[in-house]
Chain A
């Protein structure tokens, strides 16, 4: 089910505060964050985040196109290392 429009988008307030602080100072440093569910708002554009995926932090530079998505959408939590292509020699089973 999608989120009620009445509430507006979910934005992690601490994260937004951090971004605004950087804006004020005019610096743009990496912001480490675990707030994967936080919606990307226009204020985030051209900042770089390190988004946690449960194990590591993925570097994510925010562009205009990403507004409206959530941070977690860009930091995959699963690893998939392709199925073996051609069948290898069959190993004898007991």
Chain B
């Protein structure tokens, strides 16, 4: 299994798809990278040359924030927003959706599992 950009190991999938296993690289960016380096998208990762791999790795590390560094950056942004007390920071603190989604229903990803409230209209109707 070839290694690209440090820790990540794409399988014997096409290289476009393989690159998306790196945190911070999606399909669009993957395509862009391969185009810039003139590497055929449809080659399997295992069929790539050694030097092609090293060029890929070097290019990615030089130009993009990926993996741990990206995760850290994201965390820092959230911590910053919490500390200055802006609206988005508040939402992060409260564990509610940050981008203006509705919370009357849904929003279960942020709010966690349903907590049933006795006496709420929908509950009464069922009872």
Contacts and interface: CB of A to CB of B under 8 A. Distances in A.
Interface of A: 63, 65-66, 69, 72-74, 76, 83, 87, 90
Nearest to A91: B119
A66 B119 contact: no
A65 B81 CA distance: 9
12 contacts: A63-B84, A65-B80, A65-B84, A69-B86, A73-B87, A73-B88, A74-B84, A74-B85, A74-B86, A76-B90, A83-B117, A90-B119
Would you list the 10 A-B pairs with minimal beta carbon distance, nearest first?
A: A73-B86, A73-B87, A65-B84, A87-B118, A66-B84, A69-B86, A74-B86, A65-B80, A74-B85, A76-B87
Interface extent on B, as a size class? 10 to 19
Contact of A87 (B83, B87, B88, B119): B119
Interface of B: 80, 83-88, 90, 117-119
Contacts, number: 22
Contacts of B83: 65
Contacts of A65: 80, 83-84
B124 to A, nearest CB: 9
Contacts of B119: 87, 90
